[in-house]
Amino acid sequence: MKKILVVLLFVVVGYNSAFANTVNINKYEKLKIFARVMAIIDNNYVDKVNNVKLIDNAIKGMVSSLDPHSSYMTKDEYKELKVVTTGKFGGLGIEITLKDGVLTVVAPIEDTPAYKAGLKSKDMIIKINGKSTLGMSLQDAVKILRGKPGTKVTLTILRKKQAKPFDVTITRAIIHVKSVKYKKIGNIGYLRIAQFQQGTTQEVKNALNKLKNIKGLVIDLRNNPGGLLQEAIGVSDLFVKQGVIVSIRGRNKDDTQYFYANDDGNEPTYPIVVLINSGTASAAEIVSGCLKDDKRAIIMGVRSFGKGSVQSIIPLSDGSALRLTTAKYYTPSGRSIQAIGIEPDVVVKQAKLTEEANTYTLREQDLAHHLIGPKSSKAEYSKQDIEKMLKNDYQLLRAVQLTKALVKAENIVCRKK
């Protein structure tokens, strides 16, 4: 029996070793063919070629075949990336990706030229300044879209449910993104997070401190394209007492990272409703996924974008760099976000409300000699402003209504106790 086991072990080990050697031989054979093809092009192509550009393009093709988010950046492109992430630049204010080979809008960032021009999540950009984007890399598209503030760029958009493509001309501007906005809607707090950038967690803390005496909260993550992982973790930690916020899992099990909540003792206990839509992506999906799995919030809206992969920037010796997908995000329950997104607990599609024709109704205040009621306190936003905002945003209206219902239900339970 022992002899048989030894023989089997030898066969398996020998087979694995032979297989590995075959793979290596095939790899090196292919590299020889690559060098041979390059030499043939260099010597026989009809025009003289730039060998450096040829190799750069070959590497770009290899990396771009992996997934839409992995890419190779030349030295100049890597410098541009650093400008975008650390400085000011002229742009449109949209997050874009390649979806099925088509340049697609993830989300327009609030209060930017793209947002004001009416671009929407899932809009397909089929031309830029009349040039087809078919076969265009993400980096090349970004390079064309950015430019000197005040200059214009024309996008040809293909939008679902519209018969023909249409042109949108947008003026580039310095992109200043206000990450957090807030207001009170009666006794309900409204917190809008446009994207997760440096300082977002502190801005949310400040907003919560100023939204005093609220009974419930609506967190609006619609059209939030994501941003910094640490800020998404920090914001989640403001509402969750314990447990996993998100995990990052790579190819090897040893590479798995877990990020946990810290119980600071001051997490709010009021009901929370989180609004999401198809433009909610990446870091915004981490927050909504965390609050959903922890049962800390009810998620309302439509399914999110589904961008749940992690890209690492790897600088190379010649000043170029590799942006490589190295891991995927998982929610606390272990569900992958990638290409699936976050499913809302309550599905509410955006809609327009139409008012019925006004009819005169007699009220107490219309009666002669009616008793005067107490004066209402002055609000930060007028009643008319709030009504207008809710009238124009059906999803927000439903979120506020649900939050108010949860507050009432909580009060009833407390009284019974």
Q: Which of 282, 288, 304, 309 is catalytic?
A: 282
Give dist(CA 122, CA 119) in Å, integer. 9
Active site residue 292: no
List 220, 293, 294, 393, catalytic entry: 293
Q: What is the rounded CA–CA span in Å between residue 70 and residue 252? A: 19
Catalytic-labelled residue, pool 60, 292, 307, 404: 307
Helix axis angle, 283-293 to 229-237, nearest 10°:
30
- Cα separation, 274 vs 291, whole angstroms: 8
SS3 content of the chain, % helix, strand, coil (to 5): 35, 25, 40
Concatenate the DSSP letters of all residues of 285-324 into one string: HHHHHHHHHTTSSEEEES------EEEEEEE-TTS-EEEE
Residue type, position 47, single letter: D
The closest of 243, 239, 242 to 204, measured between CA atoms, is 239
Rounded to whole angstroms, the Cα distance separating 55 from 34 reads 10
Alpha-carbon gap, residue 39 to 298, rounded angstroms: 61
| Burial profile 294-322: b = 16 or more Cβ within 10 angstroms, e = fewer | bebbbbbbbbbbbbbbbeeeeeeeeebbb
Query: In whole angstroms, what is the distance from residue 212 CA to residue 234 CA?
Result: 21
CB 71 within 8 A of CB 323: yes
282 is catalytic: yes
> What are the φ/ψ torsions at residue 315 (nearest 5 degrees)?
-65, 145
One-letter amino acid identity for 26?
Answer: N
Q: What gap in Å lies between CA 287 and CA 285, rounded to an integer?
A: 5
Give catalytic status of residue 391 as yes or no. Answer: no
Inter-residue contact 72 to 59 (CB < 8 Å):
yes
Angle of CA points 408, 410, 413, to nearest 5°: 110
Which residues carry out catalysis? 282, 293, 307
